Structure formats: C-alpha cells, structure tokens
Amino acid sequence: MVQQASHVGNSVCITQYPPPSHLHADSPNKDGILSRVVPALTEIPWDGWPQEWGVKVHLALFVHRVEGLPLGLYFLVRDESQLEVLKNSMKHEKDELVQFAWIRIGEEHGAPSGLPLYLLAQGDVRNPAQRVSCDQEIAGDGMLYLF
C-alpha cells in the first residue's frame, strides 16, 4: 500500500493506492503533520519566524472518507486569537443559508489532541473540493483534501 500526498495547485490531497474505504481520523496527524502547521502546538520552524508577523494563512479541509469524522468542510485555525475575526470575515450578510456552523471538533469526535479544528458544514463535499481545484478529480476522490 502506498500513501501519497499530491499537490494540486497550492493544496494537498491525501490518497492511498490501492484506495482503502476510509482513512482513520488521526492518520493525517500520526506524524504530527497537521499539528506542525499550528504554531501554538510546535516550536520548530515557527521559533525562527518573527512573532509580530503573525499567522496569515489558515487551512480548509474537505473531508470525504475519514473514519471518526463526519463528511464535510473543516477549518484548521492556526492562531486561535484570530477566531472571531475569521468567523466575522466568513459571514455572508445577505444569505442565511451560507452561514457556517463553527463547531469545535475535539478528541471525542476523532480529532487529534489540541488541534484547533472546526466543522464549518457537514455533508458531501467531493464536488466542491473538485470544483475549487480546477475540476481535478483527485481532489474529490481523495479521503482528505487540504486547501
């Protein structure tokens, strides 16, 4: 079995060959991959980054087949002090149907310990993942798509 992280533009899609039916919720974080992008959870390489620059990029995750996590769109908040600003900037003033849930996903839901992961919208997100990836099928076929 081969596990591969493919780059699609500026994003990453985790796939395995032959494809398993599901990926376990802590698999993407077994080696701390997701935790390493959160400065509060790891020092290296962030200790060499000037703190006044702060975190400018957060991560959207399209979860398709991850055992322990519901299908849906998730958001990894790399600096939780920016949470309220992020929530406000992602509101759609005119359409109540486009509001995100912002449900914190903890260990009891299968998320790795201490990871600031939020469920924005639950449901099948294979088509939206493929669409935002210039219609590349791999984004919708993977178990997890990081954008």
Convert the pLDDT of each residue in 88-136 to its tens digit.
888 877 666 668 999 998 877 767 778 899 999 999 988 888 888 888 8
Rounded CA separation 100/74 (Å):
10
Tokens of 92: 């759609």
Tokens of 101: 């849930």
Pairing of β 23-24 and β 66-67: parallel
Pairing of β 144-146 and β 103-105: unpaired
Other C-beta atoms closer than 10 Å to the C-beta of 64 total 22
Give the residue carrying structure tokens 């639950």. 122
pTM check: above 0.85? no
pLDDT tens for 12-49 read: 555 554 454 555 555 555 446 677 778 777 766 666 66
